Amino acid sequence: MPTGGVAHSGLMTETQPTPQPAAPARRSLSPRARWAVPAVAAVAVGAAVMGPPLFASAGDDGLPPVTPEELVAKVVEKDAPALSGTVVYTARLGLPSIPFGPGGASADPVNLMSGSSTLRLWSDGEQRSRVALLGAASEYSVVHDGDEAWTYSSDDDEVVHYTVDPADAATLEKLATEGPAVKGDLPTPQDAAEQALAHAQELSTVSVDGQTTVAGRDAYQLVVTPKSTTTLVGRVVVAVDATEWTPLRVQVWSASDDTEPALEVGFTDVSFATPSDSVLTFSPPAGAQVREVVVPLPTEAEIAAAEQEHTDGALPQGVTVHGEGWDTVVELSGVDVTGALAGDPKALAELEEHEPTIGSDSAQALLEDFGGDPSDKADMGEIDPSALLDSIAKPVPGGRVVTSDLFSVLLTDDGRVLVGAVSPETLQGLA
Amino acid sequence: MSTTVLDPARVGQGSGDDTGPLAVRTEGLTKRFRGGQVAVDDLALRVPRGAVYGFLGPNGSGKTTTIRMLLGLVRPTAGAAWLLDAPVPEASASVLPRVGALVEGPAFHPYLSGRDNLARLEAADATADPRTADRRAAEALDRVGLGAAADKRYRQYSLGMKQRLGLAAALLRPRDLLVLDEPTNGLDPQGTREVRHLVRELADAGTTVLVSSHLLAEIEQVCTHVGIMRAGRMVLQGDRSVLVARGASRLRVTTTTGLAGTAARVLDTLGLDEVAVDGLQVDALLGDTAPERVSAALVAAGVDLVGFEVRHPSLEEIFVELTGEGFDVAR
Amino acid sequence: MSHADAAPTAAPSGVTTTSAAVATAAPPLRPVRGAFGRLLRSELRLVLGRRRNLVLLTGLGAVPLLLGLVVFFTRDTAMAGEGPGFIGRVTENGLFLVVASVFVCLPFLLPLTVGIASGDAIAGEASTGTLRYLLVTPVGRSRLLVVKAIGALAFVAAAVLAIAVVGLVAGALLFGLRDVVLLSGDTVPLAAGALRVAGIVAFVGLSMTGLVAVGLFFSTLTEVPVGAMAATVVVAIVSGVLDTLPALDAIRPGLLTHHWLDFAELLRISPDWGVVLGGLGVQAAWVAVFASLAWARFTTADVSS
């Protein structure tokens, strides 16, 4: 630094050292204020996301009290209403993850085994309905239209047309069911509730829990608790719409896990209006393969016999039923275990769907499924059946067992299959 | 506070206009970067209107950061700045159209021609008249000698042509103030002369020019005022002639045998700094002391004056003295 | 003299305003009408006229063409009808070539395009140094950011349209256009189907806006455009990966890419507009957060490039 020479009189002595920083003339937020804008945006977004559920869960005590008996009666008596809506089906069965290969996000009923699935439901409350399982870019639809039914899978562009033999049309009329039974049918809250409440009074304790909101609608909660202590099912909670008296949500809780329902099927969005005709009818697209299936209907005599069966316990050959109600165990004999698994994993989906009231009807369906339909083998892709078996069934003395939070399956080495909502040990005991 | 800052109130004495209007003014302008490094420290810049202000200092002394703050590119940590009496960056939108700038070299889209690059800047200027845009761009290109290469891609331009295009962009419309950061960078001597000529021409037309350089020689001939930065501080600022006059004039007294010591004592007594004896010669920094007073005192003390020499430093010498020699970048 | 009491906006040399006016008799500068439009047109010319971007658009346009040709020449082989998504349907109806092409480009090529368009927006100008000259022209930073965002969006729209138009033309020529079979197996007339496909193209285009905002924000953080581009593409890919993790169920619906495939909703028999709007709502949320981040960053950052 040179010294001297240049005048020393500093600037600071003559000019005020700190002029006002120029005040914001018009607009201009300070830098800090500017960074507050994204913060506010983030908070607003967060509020928009978190807000509605917070509000929805508040203040749901406005419904008049109802007794469990009244509620069950209302639900059972109430005719199915016309409605349309979106249903989310979630299974947390605690099954080992099943390597079904690619297409995890595609619309295949197999995917109902685990995780979450979205279905869309339209019904006129009578004999016409459509249920569609939605994949990311695919769809599996089941359309019931009077005495015929269709399934359509967008993945393989395959149509299956179920019809009733014309001779049986009169019987169908009399049965007044939803028409022909469809393989690979999809779960709805109504079906699940129907099954849960079927024998509710005899085998379970029924109570009314607090009120709740499902799909933005007020609902009562009906809790069905098995009287049995050996079943894996802890309780079934049915949320019933407070004005339409139709089930909006069914949760099946495992006895072993009280944090989340093991199985849940419920509306996320529902509207009680008759859907348009276009969704309740189906005509196969040009160029699609249509597989015709004629569903034989039982004659009146057979129906009578079937009703008799219910009480007598007479079953098709090879099927034995142990226990009753929640503890029912179905035993199938003479099954090629590996082949069955390879043949149709949908069988397990069926199982789970009918699980709470597994009975002779379910057993029949199960038998058909385990019998296997050769065409379904394509669904398995390149998966080695024995590897699959290894991955989900762990060996026990005398066979292999599949365990989940809600049901167990025992595959014995001598070719029997035992299925029930009980512990694997119970199954082993029965075997 | 640097001890060598000129009294800004006396800057411009040479032009006899002490309170003349300023084209650029800053008060306490400070920029501290996030790492804590202070690039500009408490700067009081004074650029009188109509001046050609040579903004000097070694690379890294804070010139470019100062210019960036003036143009609203960098936000000051403290202090305030005015361009053409308008506070910046608050009033940048209204004042910057009157300011042409070349900041740290030219920068254009390489895949566009010179003309298209100017058209882009023209389109960006909200206050420019689009009807005269093409004409003004052509004039600016001609003015910097790029008329013939206007439709070549910028990528194909030589360094000098790029620099000229940068100048053309600064001259797209009449400006009241030009801020030229190292305008002669990359130019050959001929180009440098042309730029000097251009600057003089613009100044003659009344435009204030703030021209920065790390080489005094490049701009010494054109500037009327200088400011010298070192390590973020203004170490010297003022009218060029005053600066030269007030530069650290040196005194060399040559005397006869045995009297050098006496002479040195006399100079000491007079309060001169850096008194040094070398044989028969005594050197000292004259500073503000009147030479005739020194010679009278020496004679009175009986010193034979064989030689009495007062040397005014050149701007170059002042510059080198203030900023340090060699290539070492400040800090 | 002292300036301490001078109003901050007043002339620093208080008494000299009049003499200053003599030297620089500048009329007050007012923005010319249509100034924003001029800058925007300049930006669009820059973005859509740039050779690199034209090459990219051409490449994207080639996707449906190649896809259509591959499907056309394998239609009678064992591979017919194979392939993900909608490729199997292309042979039945050329209109599905548009959907299949969009589907194929969605996971990587479109995010790449978005990355290039938005990552380059600010960082590209910063890296060439032209940003400082735009700002000293002057262009207000907010205004420049808006223009840059529109430029990036315009390029993304051009990319989606290039895929759609080439897909439509190639599909019509190779396979013909017919009534459209929906995912539910139902058939709707060609006009209604075409409208649905147009809706899909629009949905996919709008689904990119969130990523554009993210890219724009990255673009304000760096002077290296390639870095901003890569970061943007990585965000899309990471989001896609996170979307496959069941453990993240709670946040998955908010992920940037989660609703991209919801365009399929428009191919269902009775589209749930709640789903479509929900997907766009998530994009709007990403846009709100990241556009404001980009704005806060860009209007406060020191430009030292």
Of B82-96, B275-289, C38-52, which range is least confident?
B275-289
| Buried/exposed A269-278: b ≥16 CB within 10 Å, e otherwise | ebeeebbeee
Give the residue carrying structure tokens 């000491």: B268
pLDDT of residue B98: 93
Q: Is C129 left (phi over 0), alpha (psi -120 to 50) or beta?
A: left
**Is A16 in contact with C3 (Cβ distance < 8 A)?**
yes
In this prediction, residue C16 has a pLDDT band, given cuts at 50, 70 and 90, of: very low
pLDDT of residue A389: 63
Of A78-92, B21-35, C20-34, C244-258, which range is least confident?
C20-34
Tens-place pLDDT, residues C143-181:
999 999 999 999 999 999 999 999 999 999 999 999 999
Decide if C181 touches A, using CB distance below 8 A.
yes
Task: Estimate to the nearest angstrom the gap between the alpha carbon of C210 and the chain centroid.
Answer: 8
User: Which of A2, A11, A21 shows the shortest C-beta gap to B322?
Assistant: A2
In this prediction, residue A111 has a pLDDT band, given cuts at 50, 70 and 90, of: low
CB A188 within 8 A of CB A119: yes
Decide if A288 touches C, using CB distance below 8 A.
yes
pLDDT at A385 over 60: no
pLDDT at A349 over 60: no
| Buried/exposed B15-42: b ≥16 CB within 10 Å, e otherwise | beeeebbbbbbbbbbbbeeeeeebbbbb
Residues above pLDDT 90, as percent of chain B: 41
Decide if C277 touches A, using CB distance below 8 A.
no
Decide if A54 touches C, using CB distance below 8 A.
no
Q: What is the average pLDDT across A46-55? A: 70
Q: How far apart are CA C190 and CA A423, in angstroms?
A: 56
The Cα of B307 is separated from the nearest Cα of chain C by a number of Å equal to: 44
| pLDDT averaged over every residue in chain A | 71
Phi, psi at B154, each rounded to 5°: -60, -35
User: Which of A15, A132, A278 shows the shortest C-beta gap to C2?
Assistant: A15
Tens-place pLDDT, residues B149-158:
999 999 999 9
Q: What is the average pLDDT across B51-67? A: 91
**Is B206 in contact with C24 (Cβ distance < 8 A)?**
yes
pLDDT of residue B303: 85
Decide if A374 touches C, using CB distance below 8 A.
no
Decide if B5 touches A, using CB distance below 8 A.
yes
Q: How far apart are CA C9 and CA C11, in angstroms?
A: 7
- Greater confidence (A60 vs A31) lies with A31
pLDDT at C113 over 70: yes
Q: What is the average pLDDT across A125-137? A: 86
Decide if B44 touches C, using CB distance below 8 A.
no
**Is C302 in contact with B75 (Cβ distance < 8 A)?**
yes
Decide if C82 touches A, using CB distance below 8 A.
no
**Is A31 in contact with B75 (Cβ distance < 8 A)?**
yes
User: Which of B1, B236, B246 shows the shortest C-beta gap to A12?
Assistant: B1
Decide if B252 touches C, using CB distance below 8 A.
no
Q: How far apart are CA B181 and CA B229, in angstroms?
A: 14
The Cα of B86 is separated from the nearest Cα of chain C by a number of Å equal to: 6
Q: How far apart are CA A330 and CA A195, in angstroms?
A: 17
Q: What is the average pLDDT across B44-63? A: 91
Q: How far apart are CA C265 and CA A401, in angstroms?
A: 40
Query: Which token pair is B45?
Result: 């810049």
pLDDT at C3 over 60: no
SS3 letters for C35-88?
HHHHHHHHHHHHHHHCHHHHHHHHHHHHHHHHHHHHHHHCCCCCCCCCCCCCHH
The Cα of A34 is separated from the nearest Cα of chain B by a number of Å equal to: 14
Tens-place pLDDT, residues C61-102:
999 999 999 989 887 776 655 555 577 788 888 999 999 999
Q: Best-predicted range by mean pLDDT among A197-206, B302-311, B316-325, C147-156?
A: C147-156
Strands B177-181 and B99-102: parallel
- In chain A, residues with a C-beta closer than 8 Å to the C-beta of C289 are 38, 41-42, 45
Residues above pLDDT 70, as percent of chain C: 88
Tell me how many residue pairs between chain A and chain C have CB atoms under 8 A apart: 113
**Is C16 in contact with B21 (Cβ distance < 8 A)?**
yes
Chain A's closest residue to B91, CA to CA, is: A25
Q: What is the average pLDDT across A62-73? A: 82
Chain C's closest residue to B17, CA to CA, is: C16
The Cα of C102 is separated from the nearest Cα of chain B by a number of Å equal to: 31
pLDDT at C2 over 70: no
User: Which of C1, C85, C292 shows the shortest C-beta gap to A41?
Assistant: C292
Of A289-293, C123-127, C138-142, C267-271, which range is least confident?
A289-293
pLDDT at A312 over 80: no
Phi, psi at C41, each rounded to 5°: -60, -40
Decide if B79 touches A, using CB distance below 8 A.
yes
- Please, which residues bridge with residue A141 across strands? A132, A152
Q: What is the average pLDDT across A113-121? A: 80
Give the residue carrying structure tokens 């006016």: C21
User: Which of B6, B8, B285 shows the shortest C-beta gap to A15?
Assistant: B8
pLDDT at A377 over 60: no
Interface test with B, best of A11, A15, A18, A29 (most B CBs within 10 A): A11
The length of chain B is: 331
Q: How far apart are CA A370 and CA A346, in angstroms?
A: 9
In this prediction, residue A426 has a pLDDT band, given cuts at 50, 70 and 90, of: confident
Q: What is the dihedral of CA C99, C101, C103, C107, to 10 degrees?
A: -160
Q: What is the DSSP string of B141-207?
A: HHHTT-GGGTTSBGGG--HHHHHHHHHHHHTSS--SEEEEESTTTT--HHHHHHHHHHHHHHHHTT-
pLDDT of residue B139: 94
**Is C181 in contact with A22 (Cβ distance < 8 A)?**
no
pLDDT of residue A232: 84
pLDDT at B122 over 80: yes
Q: How far apart are CA A145 and CA B48, in angstroms?
A: 92
pLDDT of residue B243: 67
Give the residue carrying structure tokens 């256009």: C177
Q: What is the average pLDDT across C239-262? A: 88
pLDDT at C265 over 70: yes
pLDDT of residue A96: 58
Q: Best-predicted range by mean pLDDT among A93-107, B6-20, B174-188?
A: B174-188
Q: Best-predicted range by mean pLDDT among A158-172, A381-395, C87-101?
A: C87-101
Map residue A122 onto helix, strand or coil. strand
In this prediction, residue B170 has a pLDDT band, given cuts at 50, 70 and 90, of: very high
The length of chain C is: 305
Decide if A283 touches C, using CB distance below 8 A.
yes
pLDDT at C245 over 90: no
- Please, which residues bridge with residue B251 across strands? B284, B310
Which DSSP helix (H) or strand (E) runs through A1? none
Instruction: List all residues of chain A from 82 to 141 with a beta carbon under 8 Å from chain B.
Output: none
The beta strand positions in A188-243, using DSSP E, are 204-214, 217-226, 233-241
Chain A's closest residue to C92, CA to CA, is: A287
Of A23-37, B173-187, C53-67, C102-116, which range is least confident?
A23-37
Q: List all chains that touch chain C, counting a touch as 3 or more CB pairs closer than 8 Å.
A: A, B
The Cα of C116 is separated from the nearest Cα of chain B by a number of Å equal to: 17
**Is A6 in contact with B4 (Cβ distance < 8 A)?**
yes
- Smallest CA-to-CA distance from B260 within B275, B276, B282 is with B282
**Is B79 in contact with A3 (Cβ distance < 8 A)?**
no
pLDDT at A103 over 60: no
In this prediction, residue B19 has a pLDDT band, given cuts at 50, 70 and 90, of: low
- Please, which residues bridge with residue B277 across strands? B282
Task: Estimate to the nearest angstrom the gap between the alpha carbon of C302 and the chain centroid.
Answer: 26
Query: Which token pair is C18?
Result: 């009049």
**Is A137 in contact with C9 (Cβ distance < 8 A)?**
no
Which DSSP helix (H) or strand (E) runs through A188? none
Which residues, in sequence order, are CB contacts of B130 under 8 Å at separation 6+?
A: B122, B123, C32, C34, C38
- Please, which residues bridge with residue A330 across strands? A321, A419
Q: How far apart are CA B290 and CA C254, in angstroms?
A: 81
Chain A's closest residue to B286, CA to CA, is: A5
Q: Best-predicted range by mean pLDDT among A264-278, B5-19, C54-68?
A: C54-68
Q: How far apart are CA A336 and CA A370, in angstroms?
A: 9
The Cα of A22 is separated from the nearest Cα of chain B by a number of Å equal to: 6
- In chain C, residues with a C-beta closer than 8 Å to the C-beta of A132 are 184, 268-269
Query: Which token pair is B222?
Result: 């054109």
Tens-place pLDDT, residues B244-282:
665 667 888 888 878 888 888 888 888 888 888 888 888
- Smallest CA-to-CA distance from B82 within B70, B97, B66 is with B70
Q: Best-predicted range by mean pLDDT among B156-160, B181-185, B308-312, C141-145?
A: C141-145
The identity of residue A115, as a single letter, is G
- Please, which residues bridge with residue C279 across strands? none
Decide if B104 touches C, using CB distance below 8 A.
yes
**Is B85 in contact with C133 (Cβ distance < 8 A)?**
no
In this prediction, residue A298 has a pLDDT band, given cuts at 50, 70 and 90, of: low
Chain C's closest residue to A289, CA to CA, is: C185
Query: Which token pair is C246?
Result: 């069941």
Q: How far apart are CA C215 and CA C209, in angstroms?
A: 10
* Stated pTM of the model: 0.81
